């Protein structure tokens, strides 16, 4: 028997974070840069797209999909040689892993420890990551868990998911076919799938779904729902914020019957497996209404579904009070079928999300027991969670996370004249006081970022480019070379552009969080000393996301999660891609991304992506600041936490492993 867990889909998720802010999952394509993290493509945040203008053209389902007439299943079987691919119960997989990791101390000893050293952290993690007994003995199935959510959700339709908060909710309520484990290995979920086979030539994937899957309204979940969802994603009139990335690499998705699916690929790429991961919506609820309202959220019917969605995951939305809380309840039909238990019962009867945008408020709620789990900021970890007011009810854990934070430049010469020259961008990299940022503002907890890949990742270059250091003399020399000099003696560098003298003055937009603003102000002070005026414009996360999506900025502070595969970063750094907000373009980087897709050997792929890393770091399309770590505080009654490069939730089994023992 398996336990119903949401399928986290791989996405390079935007994280609008500062020191210690929560990670991103969206949908990795589930789970979701407040990174816009398990995402699904975890997790992670893609800003919501602006409403599209009404058009007189009729709605055509799947008009963006290639024109392709799939063969019959018999024709396909006659010509294709299939190879079995992994169908995995990730909780069972984690149980096997835990057998190799004996606890260093008992649970009782771990609960008495203060996490004040790497050794203490290791002991707490090893003991409190204990999993629930397979037979469920001792599990408090009537438990409610209260969690913090950093911002309210905007949409509940998973195809329109665009934020970390939406990913958190949809990661528990939505249905998916594929997932990945804590080491980012792709798999089909045994919760949903009987078999998964890939063709020897890597052009086809065939999946047979289980026959005991139901939506929350009692209708069966079938292969036709998956095909329909693909076609919705590939419809030009549907404003898909993030889910189309990767899905647009497919040639077709075909349901041959209620359970048999075949995914057709355009090319035999190593990265094809990640293109299979998209969210699924119930065909029977949208098939007759989508033409009248392709937004999926505005019509009377769709608005009703937003408030009370038909879900395919372990939980359904019981109550949503905007700006205050979202309450999920366990869905019996997720683990029961025709009166028989077919999957493990989810551990919590109810999950309550309190919407707490302020980190200080979240910590106070954690200390008082109003919530039982929360992300911690660096300062909170170091100075505000060290006393009995915290340890009376809670403990905390930390671990590395493949998330980097940066100041991104708008390199579109029509929109912003300052950052098109690589010498200028490199000068700005030399103008950052990294030591003060790391040691004072990040409390020595986050290392300086060396570029887009984390040093612990398999794709990090064997010979990384030398890191930029704080050197104002080099910065000034490079600015002089690029023609930015103080020609009029007013103390501000300037340059003649299209016959007009333009002073070097720009604004950084940043989330309205003290730690983020402090890092930007540190940078601003250095820039002023070399003749550049910089303004800092703090704003709410939703506004920041929209500004980035619309490319209405000169510079922005944000963060990116690496994602499950390095290829997923191409939508940030490849020319013309959807999340390439800064309009960065390097033909060699584009070429290497294309080469990396075709290479199946992991070692050779690592060499390719290592080259991409070094090229991008030299080009400095962003000023790379620091690598974030995961900091989590949680109530001492909770068990099952495991950290991954995506934090504790946005992978399989993720949150599904968390449980509360009977007290």
What's the chain's length in residues?
663
* DSSP H stretches of helix in 16-128: 73-79, 90-99, 107-112, 118-128
119 contact partners, CB below 8 Å, separation of at least 6:
none
Amino acid 520: pLDDT: 98
Q: What is the mean pLDDT of residues 15-29?
A: 33
Which residues pair with residue 374 across a beta bridge? 633
* Among the listed residues 82, 127, 121, the one whose alpha carbon sits nearest the alpha carbon of residue 109: 127
Give residue-wise pLDDT tens across range 123-140.
Answer: 999 999 999 999 999 999
**What does the mean pLDDT of the chain come to?**
90
Q: Write down the pLDDT at residue 29.
A: 36
| pLDDT tens by residue, 407-425 | 999 999 999 999 999 999 9
**CATH numbers and ranges of domains, the chain:** 401-629 (3.10.105.10)
**What pLDDT, on a 0 to 100 scale, did the predictor assign at position 650?**
85
**What span, in angstroms and rounded, lies between the C-alpha atoms of 616 and 489?**
35
DSSP-assigned states of every residue in 413-474: TTT-SSSSSHHHHHHHHHTS-HHHIIIIISTT-SPBP-SSS-TTSTTS-SSPPPPP---HHH
Calculate the CA 542 to chain-centre distance.
16
Say how far apart CA 137 and CA 218 lie, in whole Å: 29
> How much is the pLDDT for 310?
98
Question: Of 539, 509, 145, nearest to 326 (Cα)?
Answer: 145
| DSSP structural state of residue 499 | T
Angle value at C-alpha 73, between 70 and 78, nearest 5 degrees? 110
DSSP at 584: -
pLDDT tens-digit map of 338-350: 999 999 999 999 9
Helix, coil or strand: residue 283: helix
d(CA 261, CA 280): 13
Question: Residue 14 — very low, low, confident or very high, per pLDDT cuts 50/70/90?
Answer: very low
Helix/strand/coil (H/E/C) assignment for every residue in 449-461: CCCCCCCCCCCCC
Give the whole-angstrom CA distance, residue 580 versus residue 590: 12
What pLDDT shows up at residue 55? 54
Specify whether the CB–CB gap between 630 and 643 falls below 8 A. yes
Cα separation, 663 vs 655, whole angstroms:
20
Q: Does residue 10 surpass a pLDDT of 70? A: no
When mean pLDDT is compared across 8-12, 211-215, 531-535, 559-563, the lowest value belongs to 8-12
CA distance 403 to 337: 40
Sign of the dihedral through C-alpha 287, 289, 292, 293: negative
Query: Which tens digit of pLDDT belongs to each residue from 59-108?
Result: 999 999 999 999 999 999 999 999 999 999 999 999 999 999 999 999 99
Distance from C-alpha of 195 to C-alpha of 127, rounded to nearest angstrom: 35
- pLDDT, one tens digit per residue, over 257-297 is 999 999 999 999 999 999 999 999 999 999 999 999 999 99
Mean pLDDT in residue range 243-263: 95
Q: Tell me the per-residue pLDDT of 216-235, one tens digit each, with 9 for 90 and over.
A: 999 999 999 999 999 999 99
Q: What are the tens digits of pLDDT across the range 382-392?
A: 999 999 999 99
469/21: higher pLDDT: 469
Predicted confidence band of residue 23 (pLDDT cuts 50, 70, 90): very low
Residue 513 is predicted with a pLDDT of 85
pLDDT the model gives residue 241: 76
């Amino acid at each position: 028997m398996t336990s119903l867990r949401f399928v986290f889909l791989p996405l390079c998720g935007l994280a609008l974070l500062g020191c210690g802010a929560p990670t991103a999952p969206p949908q990795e394509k589930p789970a979701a840069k407040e990174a816009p993290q398990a995402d699904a493509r975890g997790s992670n945040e893609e800003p919501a797209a602006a409403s599209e203008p009404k058009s007189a053209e009729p709605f055509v389902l799947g008009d963006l999909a290639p024109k392709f007439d799939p063969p019959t299943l018999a024709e396909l079987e006659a010509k294709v040689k299939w190879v079995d691919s992994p169908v995995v119960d990730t909780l069972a997989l984690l149980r096997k892993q835990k057998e190799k990791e004996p606890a260093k101390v008992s649970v009782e000893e771990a609960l008495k420890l203060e996490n004040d050293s790497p050794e203490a952290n290791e002991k707490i993690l090893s003991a409190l990551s204990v999993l629930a007994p397979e037979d469920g003995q001792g599990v408090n199935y009537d438990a409610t868990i209260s969690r913090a959510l950093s911002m309210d959700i905007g949409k509940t339709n998973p195809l329109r998911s665009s934020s970390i908060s939406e990913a958190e909710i949809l990661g528990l309520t939505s249905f998916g076919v594929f997932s990945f484990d804590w080491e980012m290995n792709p798999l089909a979920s045994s919760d949903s799938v009987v078999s998964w086979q890939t063709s020897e030539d890597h052009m086809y994937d065939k999946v047979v779904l289980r026959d005991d899957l139901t939506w929350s309204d009692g209708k069966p979940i079938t292969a036709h729902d998956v095909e329909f969802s693909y076609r919705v994603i590939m419809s030009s009139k549907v404003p898909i914020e993030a889910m189309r990335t990767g899905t647009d690499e497919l040639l077709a998705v075909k349901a041959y019957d209620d359970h048999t699916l075949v995914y057709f690929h355009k090319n035999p790429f190593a990265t094809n497996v990640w293109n299979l991961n998209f969210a699924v919506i119930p065909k029977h609820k949208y098939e007759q209404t989508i033409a009248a309202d392709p937004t999926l959220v505005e019509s009377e019917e769709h608005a009703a579904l937003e408030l009370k969605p038909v879900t395919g995951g372990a939980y359904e939305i019981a109550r949503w009070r905007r700006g205050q809380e979202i309450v999920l309840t366990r869905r019996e039909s997720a683990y029961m079928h025709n009166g028989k238990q077919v999957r493990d019962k989810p551990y919590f009867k109810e999950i309550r999300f309190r919407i707490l945008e302020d980190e200080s408020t979240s910590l106070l709620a954690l200390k008082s027991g109003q919530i039982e789990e929360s992300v911690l900021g660096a300062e909170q970890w170091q100075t505000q969670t060290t006393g009995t007011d915290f340890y009376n009810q809670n403990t905390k854990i930390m671990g590395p996370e493949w998330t980097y934070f940066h100041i991104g430049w708008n390199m579109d010469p029509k929109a912003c004249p300052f950052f098109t020259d690589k010498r200028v961008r490199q000068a700005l990299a030399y103008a950052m006081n990294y030591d003060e940022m790391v040691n004072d503002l990040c409390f020595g907890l986050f290392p300086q970022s060396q570029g887009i890949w984390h040093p612990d990742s398999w794709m990090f270059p064997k010979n990384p480019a030398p890191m930029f250091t704080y050197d104002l003399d080099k910065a000034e020399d490079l600015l002089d070379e690029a023609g930015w000099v103080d020609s009029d003696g007013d103390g501000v560098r300037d340059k003649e552009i299209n016959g007009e003298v333009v002073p070097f003055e720009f604004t950084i937009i940043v989330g309205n969080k003290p730690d983020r603003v402090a890092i930007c102000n540190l940078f601003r002070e250095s820039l002023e000393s070399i003749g550049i005026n910089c303004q800092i414009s703090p704003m709410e996360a939703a506004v920041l996301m929209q500004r980035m999506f619309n490319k209405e900025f000169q510079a922005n502070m944000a963060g990116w999660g690496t994602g499950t595969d390095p290829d997923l970063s191409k939508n940030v750094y490849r020319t013309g891609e959807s999340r390439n907000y800064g309009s960065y373009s390097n033909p060699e980087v584009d070429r290497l991304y294309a080469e990396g897709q075709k290479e199946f050997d992991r070692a050779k792929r690592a060499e390719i992506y290592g080259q991409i890393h070094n090229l991008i770091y030299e080009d400095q399309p962003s000023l790379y600041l620091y690598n974030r770590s995961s900091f989590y505080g949680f109530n001492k009654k909770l068990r099952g936490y495991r950290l991954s490069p995506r934090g504790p939730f946005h992978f399989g089994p993720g949150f599904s492993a968390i449980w509360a023992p009977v007290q």
